[in-house]
Chain A
Amino acid sequence: MLVSVDNHLLGHTRTNAARPSRPPPSHRRREHGPTTTMTRTIATILAVLAVTLVLALPSFASPPAANATAADDATNNWAVLVCTSRYWFNYRHVANTLSMYRTVKRLGIPDDQILLLLADDMACNPRNSRPASVINNAEDRLDLYGDTVEVDYRGYEVTVENFMRLLTDRMPEHTPRSKRLLTDEKSRILVFMTGHGGDEFLKFQDKEELGAQDLADAFAQMWEKRRYREVLFMVDTCQANTLYSRISAPNVVAVGSSAKDESSYSHHMDMNLGVSVIDRFTYANLEALESVHLASASASSPGGLNRTSSLADLFATYDPVKLASTPGVRSDLSKRPLESIPILDFFGASLTGAKVPRDEDRVVLEARLEVSPVPTVEKVARPTEEEVGESKAPRPVGPVKVGPASSWRAYLHAAALAGLVGIMSFVTLV
């Protein structure tokens, strides 16, 4: 029978046995004077302290200057609109994406700065009874495809790898410009993703998944490479709120259509096509955004949004009862509060100080046209000396803190590293 026995009982036995002998301490060592050994010890301690200090230094460094500059610093707007679903019965995902495409085009983002990724072709699908058109409303019958659509990634090209490469701009040589996200540190990007998803993942074409951590890493890389100023990340899938749970890069506002363990539902079906044509979350967004147009400062429908509305106003229009799910908003990473971010900062072009173009698509319902300049965005109140000081300080080269402002992590990491270095130097000495 086997009984596990305490080691000390065995040790009792071992004292009688012959102990394997250690090599005798070398006489060469003994020849070193005690002062040399002490010097070596002091040197080790000093080295460890120095290393600890060097490693802990970045955590004391000031946050990068770009963080705290004025809110209207961005000069260009981009949109990345992704539909990840294939097959005719996922028509509504393509319709979601095309609805967003139409909206941002209408509100001013040029086609060159919109990256449209559609995993399947619905418009010219043999099953489509309305060739070359995609609708999102069974009554309205408005065609989303239009005459000038440009699909940058289509069909089998919509993969997780291509999406990640697009975000981080690690593209192979010869990738055409229309397929690259050529943003800089003054860009605002709208990233809209729709498809089938789950707890912390988004399914791409029934073959692979994009994880929440991958997405967070992509945004972190983008921040490191100074590829955006602000990002609005919108996702319309089941359990969408989990997809943005791991983002840690600053200046990201995230919106999801449903919480964990909740599904997002489609809105309605078109009886001629035989499929659902739009999802509830996107439909709610469109209902709010369709009343925004550039030519007029007031809404086309009473109680709707207008071009001066903020993201907080948009998110306030979501009704969990109508959506049959709980949409979530993540604004902790954003430097500006949601009330002071205009919708047009992400859905339209940054037109600070520029002439507002006429929006020819929408019928203006008011009797008179207001020709008013674009209202200035309210700046968040900050003490001026901080702003000036930080805007003048050059961005430090080297590892820069990406995460939220808690520095205890940095201390912990530095201490662990110092401990490790200490142990290793101790081991080499002894």
Chain B
Amino acid sequence: MEQSRITKKYDLFPRTLGQVLNRFGVEALDLTMTQGRWMHDAWGWPVDGYAAPPGFDVRAWLRTERRNATTLDKDWVGLTNALSGLFCGSLNFLDGTNIASPALAYKDRQGSSLLDVLRHGRLAREAVCTENLTPWGKLLPCSTKAGLAAALNGYRLFDADYHSIQTLVSITCASKDSACTQQLTQRVVAVFNPLRQSNKPEWSFTSLMDRPLNRPACALAASSTLHVTIPDLPAGAFQLHPADHAAVMINNKQVATYVYLRHHSLDPASATQSLRCVRLVFDHPPTTDFSVSRYLTDAGQERGILAVDLTNHRQVGDRTAQYTDVLPWFVRAYLHTVAYTCYPQGHATPADGLVEGVWFQHGIDRQRPTVMEVQVTVPASHLCTLRVEYELANLQYAEFRPDAERGFEVGSGLVTLFLNGTRPARLPTAIDPKASDVVRIHADAVQVQLPVPDFSMPYNVITFTCTVLAFYFGTMFSLTLSRAVSYRIDETTKKPVVVKIDELVWHKDE
């Protein structure tokens, strides 16, 4: 039984999750279940500067005291199995072959002690559906029976252009070696498109979620508030109801605040009270000043080039970016082929880009993936391309998935931008006003097509081999059982008469 520095109080923190974390020595955990890609060019920066990659993404910081690598591996297996049972996902597929411990990324999410080791695994193809939302909701103190979570409607949430269900556990310690507390943050990030439903640039909470906000707030909640970011439009261009709301400034943006009290609810029946916004003009989507594009190039199923385009749209000011990629073992990337070229925007002549450092862990076949982390500087108004060449391995017949023709998803492609005190333009309101100094952009997921074998070949080989063996065996068997003899035709009876060997070998004296 390990001594844990974490005080265990399960009045608000869900016991199911807490006991799993305690049992396997997990200090911090990020688990996100996402479908869709955050479209930076259309939606700007994601809320809180952090968007999750598609699929299931798990990061766990495990304590290393009194645990060696073998115990850590076993505990990781236990953790992923427990989480897969808890969240109804196939997290048990994250074994040693597809998890990584990146050295540079996620440093700001580091646990309280530097002795923690980070293990990160991703299932890019995992579907997210109601069976993942239900257990997430059960972790809340009031479940989905009261509070804002009661308005979460799966039918509308899973119809959204992007949705991400996040469970984040972080740890804070008052001081070194003192008692620590774990905080659980549960988030749902979704991008709804009301134009798809109504074709009018207006929305109401009921029209978005198809569920009224008529449940009381959770009795255990210290506060329950709705924030609506006021759009950057002239005053007459939109109307927000109810109009009597408190307005606060968060991150230089105006935010309307509605307090969702226990006994007062935003009544949908009353037109003046229900939460809705009517816009009379469309506004331009916010732009980001940094964009990332990731793709595979070079044709063929034998080798290829993985390329990432980093574009700094700012006129002045370089950006430091860290690119982290975890490639599966069958995509063998070569360190000596890493190339970084920068082009001034609009020009075709390349200039050398500045690579500050490369951290590379080569993959071992069927044991561990390739982890590549490159820290680069992207000058202002430049487009920089980071390229690495890879070679595809041949998989064994049984290693292919049931839908083998679809291929395999490759890597994660994370770009971590260091802001160094400069906030990117038009970052929308963060719920948590504390600004973080990094922005994470998840690059596009790419898919690689491995040559698929003919799965009927083993059957063909067995059939053919057995036929050959049968012919061979039959012939040999009859040859061994039969004996070659000489015979002569008898003159009188005209029938064959076997000539005895003795007569052949030794001449009988007549």
Chain A residues proximal to chain B, CB less than 8 Å:
1-5, 9-10, 13, 16, 86-87, 121, 123-125, 131-133, 145-152, 154-157, 173-179, 205-207
Contacts and interface: CB of A to CB of B under 8 A. Distances in A.
A124 B129 contact: yes
Given A123-B130, A132-B158, A145-B129, 19 more contacts: A2-B482, A3-B496, A13-B500, A86-B402, A87-B403, A123-B158, A124-B130, A125-B127, A131-B155, A149-B130, A151-B131, A152-B85, A156-B90, A156-B402, A176-B82, A176-B86, A178-B88, A179-B85, A206-B402
B484 A132 contact: no
12 contacts: A4-B482, A5-B483, A124-B129, A125-B127, A131-B155, A151-B88, A155-B126, A173-B77, A173-B78, A174-B77, A176-B85, A179-B84
Q: From DSSP, what is the main secondary structure of chain A's interface residues?
A: loop
Contacts of A133: 155
Given A123-B129, A178-B85, A154 B134 contact: no
A237 to B, nearest CB: 17
B401 interface: yes
A151 B77 CA distance: 20
B128 interface: yes
A177 B19 CA distance: 14
A3 B487 CA distance: 9
A13 B500 CA distance: 8
Nearest to A119: B402
Nearest to B152: A147
Contacts of B157: 132
A2 B481 CA distance: 11
B402 A121 contact: no
A258 B501 CA distance: 66
Interface in B128-144: 128-131, 134-135
Nearest to A180: B85
A2 B485 contact: yes
Nearest to B125: A155
B146 to A, nearest CB: 15
B81 interface: yes
Contacts of A13: 500-502
Contacts of B401: 156, 207
B35 interface: yes
Contacts of A123: 129-130, 158
Contacts of B500: 13
Given A1-B487, A4-B482, A152 B88 contact: yes
B496 A149 contact: no
Contacts of A152: 85, 88
Report the contact-size class of chain B (Cβ under 8 Å from the partner): 35 or more
B158 A131 contact: yes
B305 to A, nearest CB: 29
B127 A155 contact: yes
Given A131-B159, A174-B77, A207-B402, A154 B128 contact: no
Interface string B83-101: 0111011101100000000
Contact of A132 (B86, B155, B482): B155
Most chain A CB neighbours (cut-off 10 Å) among B88, B484, B487: B88
A132 B82 contact: no
A212 to B, nearest CB: 19
B249 interface: no
Interface string B483-510: 1110100000000101011100000000
Most chain A CB neighbours (cut-off 10 Å) among B82, B154, B498, B500: B154
A124 B155 CA distance: 9
A246 B298 CA distance: 54
Contacts of A132: 129-130, 154-155, 157-159
Contacts of A145: 129-130
Nearest to A179: B85
Contacts of A174: 77-78, 81-82
B502 to A, nearest CB: 6
Given A147-B154, A151-B88, A155-B126, A175 B81 contact: yes
A124 B127 contact: yes
A121 B81 CA distance: 20
A13 B487 CA distance: 15
A132 B127 CA distance: 11
Contacts of A86: 402-403
Interface in B191-240: none
